[in-house]
Amino acid sequence: MWALPAHAMPDSFADLAAAQADSVVNISTTKRVKSVQGLPPGFGFPKGSPFDDFFHDFLRNMPEREQHALGTGFIISSDGYIVTNNHVVDSADEVLVKMRDGSEHKAKVIGTDSKLDVALLKIKASHLKAVKLGDSEALRVGDWVVAIGNPFGLEQTVTAGIVSAKGRVIGSGPYDDFIQTDAAINPGNSGGPLFNVRGEVIGINTAIYSRSGGNNGIGFAIPVNLAKSAIDELRRTGHITRARLGVHITDVDEETAKALGLKNREGALVPQVEAGSAAEKAGIRAGDVIISIDGIQVKKAHELPIRVARHTPGDKVKIGIIRDGKERIITVTVDTMPDDKVASRHTPGQTDKVRLGIVVQELTRDIARQLHTRVHHGVAVERVQPGMPAARAGIMRGDVIYRINGEDVKSMKAFTSTISAFKPGSVLRVMLDRGGDQVFALIQLPKQRNKN
């Protein structure tokens, strides 16, 4: 069909775009919120105050207003199943799917996976044209890819580029393994398909790296191989049940490699094993270095949660480790991951005081409504100081910082603690919510410790 030699540059993507156009849909969401216009930030009374009940009754009786957002999705079955990003439909009261022919359908959210940022929708329709899911593992850096979506609400926009990198970790969550592409991806593309030259979906467009909110030639897509099992499980059960080992992990640095007598820095160091976990029961110990899972090499710590997540609780998994300079295989019967708990990456910290050049405040429900965010935790940026690290990274007033280096920022205290844990000169991978759009930024901390 469109199969080309790996080295060949396509003459045109017109046939691919025409063939896939009916499978790509526009998604619009509506969320009803209480109108709080006119109320100053922080308006209210202390909890327990005699006026507290009055204040909450006042808010409950305020008129509702509607917030609207746009995204993209793609049809995976002729009977109406559609895939998009979780952040596109999160907290929506109504989801509307618009087809290429202009017809509109109300969609039901079958299930979502917030950690992978995938959602499965269903519309009442039949004989739809579905995409074919490809093999993202077969992608090579430099391969041509095509994105079809609805950037800024402009329907059926086609952009092309190449795979810039694979296995990118941007701090979005525990299963970061993104395809990086220079195919133009902008707000509104979220949830749309990334095609290879054969017209197969090999990624789900999810995030951008931007200083302005628009395309800077760096976009990220979830590999479809990582999403396939989640999509299948959502279709069967409506929810995700993941397997876990019960270990905290970190990358192997040079000092650790020398201290443990390792030949290289590959693998995931285990600084902590949770009591009663599957790992502890199987005999994994703190200080072990995990080097493989099911015979597949683990080179970096972030690869381990991804490999474990492909299993079902109760599976027997062969874990290769190095202990006391010797390699061995331990069989672990993985158990079920509780909600909001992952095999976490642990980063030893310092107490260096750093300045990002921003003023932030806790993200409250009212502030989240005013900023039209899709996230419900983090810190809102009130002010950005020109010339400081945050400004140079493109952080803006009104942005919500909700994740730093893969760790959720759930409070002001957590934000302060997280920032202070990094050494001068470190680079922070920051996930932002900008008016409902997901944005990725890199903040370079000052190389000298601040004294004030």
- 87 counts as catalytic: yes
CATH of the domain at 234: 2.40.10.120
Known binding-site residue numbers for substrate: 87, 117, 188-190
Q: Which residues are 433's β-sheet partners?
A: 400, 438
For residue 53, the model assigns a pLDDT of 56
Check pLDDT > 80 for residue 59.
no
* 307 and 232 share one domain: no
* 254 and 217 share one domain: no
Check pLDDT > 50 for residue 159.
yes
Catalytic residue among 90, 117, 176, 288: 117
What pLDDT digit, counting tens, does each position of 4-56 carry? 555 567 789 999 999 999 999 999 999 876 554 444 444 444 555 555 555 55
31 within a domain of the structure (yes/no): yes
* 72 and 5 share one domain: yes
Place of tokens 């690869």: 303
Q: What is the pTM of this model?
A: 0.71
Percent of the chain beyond pLDDT 90? 44
Catalytic residue among 172, 190, 210, 426: 190
CATH of the domain at 408: 2.30.42.10
Across the range 186-204, mean pLDDT stands at 93
220 within a domain of the structure (yes/no): yes
Domains in the chain: how many in total? 3
Q: Which of 244, 248, 267, 278 is closest to 327 using CA atoms?
A: 267
Q: What domain range includes position 227?
A: 1-241
Check pLDDT > 80 for residue 185.
yes
What pLDDT digit, counting tens, does each position of 370-381 carry? 888 888 899 999
- 117 counts as catalytic: yes
What pLDDT digit, counting tens, does each position of 259-277 carry? 788 889 999 998 888 888 9
What pLDDT digit, counting tens, does each position of 313-330 carry? 999 999 999 998 899 999
* 388 and 276 share one domain: no
Catalytic residue among 87, 248, 302, 311: 87
Q: Which helix (H) or strand (E) holds 203?
A: strand 200-209
139-164 residues labelled b (16+ CB within 10 A) or e (exposed): beeebbbbbbbbbeeebebbbbbebb
Burial of residue 408 (CB within 10 Å: 0-12, 13-18, 19+) is middle
* 440 and 372 share one domain: yes
Return contacts of 265-269, CB within 8 angstroms, 24+ apart.
266/291, 266/297, 266/298, 266/299, 266/300, 267/291, 267/298, 267/299, 267/322, 268/298, 268/300, 268/301, 268/303, 268/304, 269/301
For residue 52, the model assigns a pLDDT of 53
- 190 counts as catalytic: yes
345 within a domain of the structure (yes/no): no
343 within a domain of the structure (yes/no): no
* 211 and 64 share one domain: yes
Gap between the Cα atoms of 199 and 2, Å rounded: 7
What pLDDT digit, counting tens, does each position of 349-389 carry? 333 334 788 888 889 888 888 888 888 899 999 888 877 88
